[in-house]
Each structure stands twice: as structure tokens, then as C-alpha cells.
Amino acid sequence: MRESIEQLQHLVGVVPIRIGAQLYLKKFYESCGFVQASEVYLEDGIEHIEMIRH
């Protein structure tokens, strides 16, 4: 994930990144600088949340 963020910043600059994350991975994404940006929702029967990194 960190490599993907670095490559994105290299290609387009520092921009907000929005993802749909499986809820059980919330702490992992938070460790990469993402914060929760939505309530929990179901996608394919799995709990997800929107997350954003500014």
C-alpha cells in the first residue's frame, strides 16, 4: 500500500485518495494514513467503509 501511495504521488502529486475498504482492515489502512469517511455498508455481503487519505 505504501508503495502504491508513493507511486501515485510521484505521478499526479499529493491528492486525496478515497477507497472502499473491508471493515476488518480498518486499522491497517489507518496505519497508512487513511481515516473513516462513511458509515458501514455491505458490499457482496461483506462490511465495508469508505476511507480517505488527504
- Supply the pTM of this predicted model: 0.90
Per-residue pLDDT reduced to its tens digit, 18-45: 999 999 999 999 999 999 999 999 999 9
Question: In the structure, what pLDDT confidence band is assigned to residue 50 with cuts at 50, 70 and 90?
Answer: very high
- Concatenating the DSSP letter of every residue in 1-54 gives -HHHHHHHHHHH-S--EEEEEEGGGHHHHHHTT-EE-S--EEETTEEEEEEEE-
Q: Which CATH superfamily is domain 2-53 in?
A: Gcn5-related N-acetyltransferase (GNAT) (3.40.630.30)
Q: Quote the pLDDT of residue 6.
A: 95
For the stretch 1-14, pLDDT in tens is 999 999 999 999 99
Mean pLDDT value across residues 44-53 = 98
